[in-house]
Amino acid sequence: MTGSNFHFRDTCRLCENNKLEKVIELTPTPPGNYVLRADEIEEPRPSYPLEVYFCNDCAHVQLGHVVDPRILFQRRYTYVSSTSPVFVAHLREYASAMIERFSLGKGSLIADIGSNDGTCLRFFQEHGFEVLGIDPATDIARKASDQGIETIPDFFGFKKAKHLRKERGPATLITSHNVLAHVDDLSDIIRGVEHWLDDDGLFVMEVGYFVDVYQKVWFDTIYHEHLDYHTLAPLLKFLARHDLEVIEVERIAPQGGSIRVISQKRGGPYSTDASVDHLLELEHSLKMDRPETFRAYNRRINEVRDSLGKLLMDLKQQGHSIAGYGAPTKATTMLMHFGLSQEMLDFTLEDNPLKHGCFLPGAMIPILPADELYVRKPDYVVILAWNFAHSIIKKHRRYHEEGGRFILPMPVPEIVKNLDTYLN
């Protein structure tokens, strides 16, 4: 199925083989990050299929239908890194660790693909590095530049890399955080990275790790911006085809379970450490190379849907008020697949001011500032931004102490009754 704003990809993004098999099917949704203003809620919004395919050649997992990236990223894109204290702390620690671990020389060029508001690059800049961001979200890129982080408002690829290397010289470090899952032509990006990178430079990509999604039933990370669901084994082969070799890999927590993959040009100065083999062994033990693993996962998703739906319906029938916390893109996947709307969640609370006064697409649930929690005082709050659940609950301990209760939707729907036990 193909439309004017989307198309179906029938080849693997990593190995380009056409041996694809549909293994997961979720409810079609509109783009999850395109929150609606009050004057837009009556306008028709197209929904696009959410179907996941397994490559029987390299075992990569990917979304089949590709929505025009201009719709996803250049029309009122509202995600900004700096609104999450957890992610800001992660980026600060990341910059310090990379500088120390690889003895990066001050004054050298650090580039960030999908740099967003420049939060990551700002930490490198504070250490005396030259920094340059590339991000297609024009409004956010412009704001980053205005705040001192030079950012090119464009998509990155091989053609752009040739221009940048000529104009700015080779990059000592090219970094990318939770961006490469968004790209349909991944080969063009990696060709660009390999071209721009200095001979002894490093490429660090952080991407969502499907092992975490699988083990913890975090299925709502499947949405139109995320075209790929990575495991290490297919990624190693893909990078090798583009003359990049992985030297280190680390599982990290932000964004709901990710891996940090550090690579260099083929024959670079660093040796591969044991972390690579350890992760490959884990993936093999979980049978991440078999399509039946993912079909069984689809059944688990529907079991969670039924369990959470029953819990919320029981609470509603008892007369309780229920709200959400967070308006992340992933919430649209969960709410649409679970069939939840304003009839079940009265509103959702959000820390990002760009989303206040808007409505979640599809479910049409109003988005309110987080401090409305203490004005509206719902009986229960479902944490839609579950990857930040610990910090949200810690920040709003007062809500619990005043009698409110948080609900964790996954991997098993749970009402948080003992705050100290959860936080510890």
Q: Is residue 119 part of a domain?
A: yes
Q: Is residue 350 part of a domain?
A: yes
Tell me the per-residue pLDDT of 297-322, one tens digit each, with 9 for 90 and over.
Answer: 999 999 999 999 999 999 999 999 99
Residue 231 and residue 362 in one domain: no
Q: Is residue 40 part of a domain?
A: no
Which of 221, 256, 289 is at the close of a domain?
289
CATH code of the domain covering residue 416: 3.40.50.720
Residue 235 and residue 354 in one domain: no
Cβ(208)–Cβ(214) below 8 Å: no
Lowest mean pLDDT among 68-72, 218-222, 305-309: 68-72
Residue 235 and residue 359 in one domain: no
Residue 169 and residue 196 in one domain: yes
Q: Is residue 166 part of a domain?
A: yes
Measured between alpha carbons, how far is 367 from 348 in angstroms, rounded to an integer?
5
- Write out the two tokens for 56: 């029987």
Tell me the per-residue pLDDT of 373-407, one tens digit each, with 9 for 90 and over.
Answer: 999 999 999 999 988 899 999 999 999 999 999 99
Residue ranges of the alpha helices (H) in 216-348?
A: 232-241, 275-285, 291-317, 329-338
Residue 160 and residue 275 in one domain: yes
Task: Taking residues 122-126, report their average pLDDT.
Answer: 96
Residue 114 and residue 243 in one domain: yes
Fill in the DSSP letter of residue 35. P
Give the range of the structural domain holding residue 364, as residue numbers without chain letter. Answer: 306-423
Tell me the per-residue pLDDT of 189-218, one tens digit each, with 9 for 90 and over.
Answer: 999 999 999 999 999 999 999 999 999 999
Tell me the torsion sign for CA atoms 100, 248, 246, 119.
negative
Kindly report the number of other CB atoms within 10 A of residue 254's CB atom: 19
Q: Is residue 98 part of a domain?
A: yes
pLDDT at 70: 76
Residue 241 and residue 323 in one domain: no
CATH code of the domain covering residue 246: 3.40.50.150
Q: How far is CA 109 from CA 146, 149, 164, 170, in A?
A: 20, 13, 11, 7
Task: Taking residues 10-14, report their average pLDDT.
Answer: 96
Task: Taking residues 320-332, report their average pLDDT.
Answer: 96
Q: Is residue 320 part of a domain?
A: yes
pLDDT at 71: 78
Which of 289, 314, 344 is at the close of a domain?
289
Task: Taking residues 56-74, report their average pLDDT.
Answer: 88
Residue 124 and residue 184 in one domain: yes
- Write out the two tokens for 88: 């800001």
Residue 176 and residue 312 in one domain: no
Helix axes 186-196, 232-241, angle to 10 degrees: 60
- Run of H or E including 160: helix 158-168
Binned at pLDDT 50, 70 and 90, residue 423 comes out as: confident
Residue 274 and residue 182 in one domain: yes
Chain mean pLDDT for the chain = 93
Residue 321 and residue 244 in one domain: no
Look at residue 349 and tell me whether its pLDDT is greater than 70: yes
Look at residue 52 and tell me whether its pLDDT is greater than 90: yes
Helix axes 85-102, 119-126, angle to 10 degrees: 40
* Domain total in the chain: 2
Q: Is residue 61 part of a domain?
A: no
Look at residue 1 and tell me whether its pLDDT is greater than 50: no
Residue 342 and residue 403 in one domain: yes
Q: Is residue 49 part of a domain?
A: no
Question: How do 48-55 and 61-63 pair as beta strands?
Answer: antiparallel
